[in-house]
């Protein structure tokens, strides 16, 4: 089953859904389980490689079925920290040519390279995977009457994903990258050689697709700018969320409900300036009966949030990890229909679908807890991650 | 042949290595063929004799299994094999998230878990006693029939889901939807004792049994903050130490202070809790308890009218 409206979104792509879903792999053996999510962060910005992530997500293998796995890592490109990094998957050379022409016209591309991979059992039919480190050309940004290069970047991602046949941007932030595909997550991690990257925030996802197709672009995390989202659950409000986001120029092109969360977070926090707590109040709004019992000021705030952003309420069961360059945020739906456990051991922060993998990667972890439904768990980097200097300083602290 | 098949199908996997002599009849095909047939019948994936050295160890009548490298299927086959041999105590080391430990076992074996067991610990079990040294994950005692589970830490969501008998003791808190659709039948009376707090939807759709939430926290008493307690409840009893406000209850749950008889009825379970985890049962029981019970045994009657 496609999310409602997906056919319409495929407009502009010659060949429609079938072309777009090249590389898809259906399997008829169905194991019933749930997705797995895992996040690990060092609040001091100390960078570590992807090996513990593979250990942790492989520990929850029972929760995924080999139809999607992926990772997001922050702090992995310190030498290009000022540049946006596009990770793009191509179905064919034609899509690559068209995309590269588009990039050359709008960006100054400082580095273009194949994303290094190595053959791995369990991962096949990979698309062409390229990455580009680039800066928007100022003339193009001002020609679009935009002040913020981030906005220009979002529009460029939408343009590639919606209009260029066989090309999908799956990562578009600075000093971070998303790596994902069809397969078990630990295999995808080996395929992308994640033990060769070092980041201070890592999130991982093992997929068990329920309502949407398994294809490379539909694996988690979903990303826009430096936001990425991994998700266990299903968003039954996808249609209304998607229509609301369309009004702000976000086009949902990846055939998976989770995409809306990434765009909603970008809209609420980056563009509208909401705090993370208020963003949680929109996505997992308290029930009206709970709002009625709040103290007056809080009641007013939550009433206003629900009135303003009612269309961004996420309905249905979910637990998500949302991350950016300086934060890792855990959130579940308000009645917690999907699991999430948090852990903290000094500077090391964890969010996970299950408790065991946290202990598996950190033998001295003792403080773990189960967040309440709708309550955001916000793990914050001690220093803001916006500047290149900051990143280099943490690099010095890294082992 | 039909008869034989049935007999074999009641034997757990380990017998393929050690068939009891009584079942060997003369003239019957023996050796490899028989093993093959049994193996096929029982879907054996691994038996403990084939394990790596040091993984499966017999010591003083106990069995010790190092589960560090084991998938849950391998582990649980070993456990079931050991139980079928008559082992009375099994210790499991290096448990990290292996699911279904102790599930479906119908003998009063003691299983000690060192580590964090995976989901559905003791599911469908009928008699074992499982002791967990650390936290447990979701689904502890899912649909268990009899036996005891003792968790010296916290447990995740849906503890005692659909539980039909036996006892679960959790030292600290539990997550969402503890005792969801717990049920009782005549002598089968499931009991869940939670030392700390519970999260929302405690006793959701509860149909029988007893839940006792003690609200003991490290820093003394605290408010019981769970909401939607007893939503859809239509049987059983929930005892909570302390108070809850009306809005914390589901509309199907009624609430009143616990009587002296109630306290006497839950005393043995609180004493057992104290035996496992320490504390003073008299002190605990001298506090104020409330008792929740269903307003109706059929709250949804008429909801789906024909």
Compute the average pLDDT of residues A230-239: 92
B17 lies in a domain?
yes
User: Which residues does chain A have within 8 Å of residue B134's beta carbon, measured at their own beta carbons?
Assistant: 359
- In this structure, are B142 and B30 located in the same domain? no
Q: Are residues B194 and B281 in the same domain?
A: yes
Residue-wise pLDDT for B136-170, tens only, equals 999 999 999 999 999 999 999 999 999 999 999 99
**Cα dist from B92 to A304, A354, B67, B83, B145, whole Å:** 53, 19, 7, 13, 22
Nearest chain A residue to B136 by CA distance is A355
Residues B85 and B24 in one domain: no
Q: What is the pLDDT of residue A211?
A: 72
Question: Are the C-beta atoms of residues A17 and A213 closer than 8 Å to each other?
Answer: no
B19 & B70 share domain: no
CA distance to partner chain B, nearest, from residue A370 (Å): 7
Average pLDDT over residues B181-193: 94
Q: Is the residue at B304 inside a domain? A: no
Q: Which of B118, B125, B83, B124 lies closest to B98, judged by CA? A: B118
Residue B43: asked if its preceding bond is cis (omega within 30°), the reply is: no
Q: Please name the member of B99, B116, B173 whose beta carbon is closest to the beta carbon of A355.
A: B116
Q: Is A339 on the interface with B (CB under 8 A)?
A: yes
Closest chain A residue to B119 measured between Cα atoms? A354
CB atoms closer than 10 angstroms to residue A231: 28
**B-contacting residues in A 36-75 (Cβ below 8 Å):** 59-60, 62
Q: Tell me which residue range forms the domain holding B39.
A: 1-44
What is chain B's Cα-based Rg?
A: 22
- Together in a domain, B118 and B220: yes
Calculate how close chain B gets to A174, using CA atoms only, in Å. 35
Crossing angle between the packed helical segments B2-9 and B32-42, to the nearest 10 degrees: 60
Rounded CA-CA distance A157/A395 in Å is 29
Name the one residue in this structure whose structure tokens are 């964090």.
B116
Whether B185 and chain A come into contact, CB under 8 Å, resolves to: no
The H or E element that residue A290 is part of is helix A288-292
Nearest to A355 among B135, B201, B227 (CB): B135
Q: Tokens representing A222? A: 């979903």
Q: What is the DSSP string of A337-374?
A: -S--EEEEETTEEEEESSSHHHHHH-TT--EEE-PPTT
pLDDT recorded at residue A209: 81
Q: Which of A335, A341, A360 sits opposite B96 (nearest CB)?
A: A360
Cβ within 8 Å, pair B199-A372: yes
In a domain, B288, yes or no: yes
pLDDT band at B69 (very low <50, low <70, confident <90, very high): confident
CB B282 within 8 A of CB B264: no
B156 CB neighbours in chain A (<8 A) are 339, 341, 355, 370
Its ipTM equals: 0.85
Q: Are residues B7 and B77 in the same domain?
A: no
Mean pLDDT score of chain A? 87
By C-alpha distance, which of B205, B207, B182 is closest to B194?
A: B182
**What is the interface size between A and B, counted as CB pairs within 8 Å?**
62
Q: Residues of A with CB below 8 A from B74's CB?
A: none
**B211-237 mean pLDDT:** 86
Q: What percent of chain A has pLDDT over 70?
A: 88
pLDDT per residue as tens digits for the range B27-64 = 444 444 444 444 444 444 445 555 677 788 888 889 99
Same structural domain, B253 and B179? yes
Question: At B171, which CATH number?
Answer: 2.160.20.60
> Do the Cβ atoms of A289 and B175 come within 8 Å?
no
CA distance B162 to A252: 40
The Cα B171–Cα B197 span in angstroms is: 10
Given a cut of 90, whether residue B217 has pLDDT beyond it is no
List of residues 6+ apart from B188 with CB closer than 8 A = B145, B146, B164, B165
Q: What pLDDT sits at residue A9?
A: 39
Higher pLDDT, B306 or B185: B185
pLDDT score, position A39: 97
To the nearest whole angstrom, how far is the Cα of A93 from the nearest Cα of chain B?
Answer: 42
User: Is A335 an interface residue toward B (CB < 8 Å)?
Assistant: yes
| CB–CB contact B119 A354 (8 Å) | yes
Q: Of A131, A216, A138, nearest to A172 (Cα)?
A: A131
Q: Which is more confidently placed, A9 or B121?
A: B121
Q: What is the pLDDT of residue B109?
A: 96
Domain shared by B137 and B283, yes or no: yes
What percent of chain B is predicted at pLDDT more than 90?
A: 70
Q: How far is B116 from chain A (nearest CA, A)?
A: 6
Q: Does A354 contact B138 at a Cβ distance shorter than 8 Å?
A: yes
| Residue B53 within any structural domain of the chain | no
Q: Where are the alpha helices (DSSP H) in A75-128?
A: 93-106
Task: Please answer yes or no on whether A336 and B200 come within 8 Å at the CB atom.
Answer: yes
What are the pLDDT digits (tens) for A273-293? Answer: 999 999 999 999 999 999 999
Provide the 3-class DSSP secondary structure of residue B246: helix
Nearest CA in chain B to A336: B176
Closest approach of B245 to chain A, Cα-based (Å): 12
Average pLDDT value for residue range A155-174: 94
pLDDT > 80? residue A393: no
- CATH numbers and ranges of domains, chain A: 38-397 (3.60.20.10)
Mean pLDDT of A127-140: 93
Q: What is the pLDDT of residue A33?
A: 52
pLDDT band at B205 (very low <50, low <70, confident <90, very high): very high
Q: Tell me the catalytic residues of A.
A: 35
Asked, for residue B271, whether it belongs to a domain, the answer is yes
Alpha carbon distance B221, B83 (integer Å): 42
Closest CA to B160 of B114, B113, B210: B210
Cα(B230)–Cα(B207) distance, rounded to whole angstroms? 10
User: pLDDT band at A215, cuts 50/70/90?
Assistant: confident
B90 lies in the same domain as B126: yes
Asked whether residue B251 is domain-assigned, the answer is yes
- The answer to whether residue B254 sits within a structural domain is yes
User: Which residues does chain A have within 8 Å of residue B175's beta carbon, measured at their own beta carbons?
Assistant: 336, 339, 370
Partners of B96 on chain A (C-beta within 8 Å) are 59, 356-357, 359-360
Chain B residues within 8 A of A356 when measuring between CB atoms: 95-97, 115-118, 137
Question: What mean pLDDT, rounded, does chain B reach?
Answer: 84
Are B70 and B123 in a shared domain?
Answer: yes
In chain B, the number of structural domains is: 2
Q: Is the dihedral of CA B214, B220, B224, B226 positive or negative?
A: negative
Question: Which of A292, A339, A350, A353 to mutate: most B Cβ within 10 Å?
Answer: A339
B100 vs A: CB within 8 A: no
Residue B166 lies in a domain: yes
Q: Are residues B76 and B124 in the same domain?
A: yes
> Strand order in A84-90's β-sheet?
A107-114, A128-136, A84-90, A167-171
Mean pLDDT across A123-131 = 93
Task: State phi, psi for A336 to the nearest 5 degrees.
Answer: 50, 65
| From B97, B201, B247, residue closest to A354, measured CB to CB | B97
Q: How confident is the model over A16-34, as a mean pLDDT?
A: 45
**pLDDT for residue B50:** 56
Contact status, residue B142 vs residue B123, Cβ threshold 8 Å: yes
Judgement on whether residues B38 and B73 belong to the same structural domain of the protein: no
Distance from CA of B34 to the nearest CA of A (A): 30
């Amino acid at each position: 089953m496609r999310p409602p409206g997906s056919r319409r979104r495929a407009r502009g792509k010659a060949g429609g859904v079938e072309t777009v879903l090249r590389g898809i792999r259906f399997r008829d053996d169905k194991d019933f389980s749930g997705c797995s999510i895992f996040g690990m962060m060092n609040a001091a910005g100390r960078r570590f490689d992807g090996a513990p992530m593979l250990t942790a997500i492989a520990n929850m293998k029972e929760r995924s079925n080999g139809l999607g796995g992926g990772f997001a890592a922050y702090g992995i490109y310190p030498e290009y920290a000022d540049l946006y990094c596009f990770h793009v998957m191509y179905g064919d050379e034609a899509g690559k040519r068209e995309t590269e022409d588009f990039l050359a016209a709008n960006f100054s591309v400082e580095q273009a390279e194949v994303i290094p991979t190595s053959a791995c059992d369990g991962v096949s039919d990979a698309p062409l995977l390229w990455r580009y480190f680039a800066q928007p050309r100022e003339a193009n940004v001002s020609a679009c009457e935009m002040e913020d290069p981030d906005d220009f970047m979002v529009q460029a991602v939408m343009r590639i994903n919606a209009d260029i046949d066989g090309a999908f941007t799956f990562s578009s932030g600075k000093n971070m990258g998303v790596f994902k595909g069809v397969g078990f997550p630990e295999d995808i991690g080996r395929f992308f050689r994640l033990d060769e990257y070092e980041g201070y925030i890592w999130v991982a996802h093992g997929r068990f697709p329920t309502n949407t197709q398994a294809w490379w672009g539909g694996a988690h995390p979903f990303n826009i700018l430096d936001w990425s989202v991994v998700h266990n659950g299903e968003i039954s409000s996808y249609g209304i969320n998607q229509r609301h986001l369309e009004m702000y120029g976000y086009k949902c092109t990846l055939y998976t409900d989770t995409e809306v969360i990434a765009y909603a977070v970008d809209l609420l926090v980056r563009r509208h300036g909401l705090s993370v707590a208020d963003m949680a109040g929109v996505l997992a709004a308290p029930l009206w009966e709970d709002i009625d019992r709040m103290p007056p000021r809080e009641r007013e705030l939550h009433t206003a949030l629900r009135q303003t952003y009612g269309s961004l309420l996420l309905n249905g069961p979910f637990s998500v990890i949302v991350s950016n360059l300086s934060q890792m945020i855990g959130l579940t739906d308000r009645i917690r229909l999907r699991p999430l456990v948090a852990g903290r051991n000094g500077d090391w922060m964890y969010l996970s679908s299950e408790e065991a993998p946290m202990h598996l990667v950190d033998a001295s972890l003792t403080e773990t807890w189960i967040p309440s439904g709708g309550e955001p768990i916000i793990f914050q980097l001690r220093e803001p991650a916006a500047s290149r200097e900051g990143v280099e300083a943490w690099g010095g602290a890294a082992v | 042949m039909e008869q034989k098949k049935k007999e074999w199908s009641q034997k757990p996997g380990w017998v393929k290595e050690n068939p009891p002599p009584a079942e060997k009849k003369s003239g019957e095909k023996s050796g490899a063929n028989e093993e093959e047939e049994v193996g096929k019948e029982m879907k054996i994936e691994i038996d403990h004799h084939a394990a790596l050295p040091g993984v499966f160890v017999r010591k003083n009548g106990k069995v010790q299994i190092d589960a560090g490298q084991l998938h849950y299927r391998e582990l649980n086959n070993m456990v079931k094999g050991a139980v079928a041999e008559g082992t009375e105590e099994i210790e499991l080391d290096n448990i990290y998230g292996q699911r279904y430990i102790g599930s479906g076992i119908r003998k009063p074996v003691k299983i000690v878990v060192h580590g964090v067991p995976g989901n559905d610990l003791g599911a469908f079990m009928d008699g074992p006693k499982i002791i967990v040294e650390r936290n447990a994950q979701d689904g502890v005692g899912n649909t268990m029939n009899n036996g005891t589970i003792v968790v010296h830490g916290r447990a995740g969501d849906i503890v005692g889901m659909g539980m039909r008998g036996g006892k679960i003791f959790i030292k600290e808190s539990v997550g969402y939807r503890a005792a969801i659709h717990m049920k009782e039948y005549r002598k089968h009376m499931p009991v869940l004792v939670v030392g700390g707090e519970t999260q929302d939807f405690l006793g959701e759709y509860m149909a029988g049994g007893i839940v006792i939430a003690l609200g003991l926290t490290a820093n003394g008493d605290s408010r019981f903050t769970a909401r939607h307690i007893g939503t859809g409840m239509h049987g059983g009893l929930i005892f909570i130490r302390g108070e809850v406000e009306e809005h914390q209850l589901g509309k199907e749950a009624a609430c009143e202070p616990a009587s002296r008889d109630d306290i006497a009825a839950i005393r043995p379970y609180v004493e057992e809790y104290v035996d496992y985890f320490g504390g003073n049962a008299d002190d605990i029981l001298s506090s104020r308890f409330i008792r929740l019970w269903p307003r109706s045994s059929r709250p949804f009657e008429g909801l789906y009218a024909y």
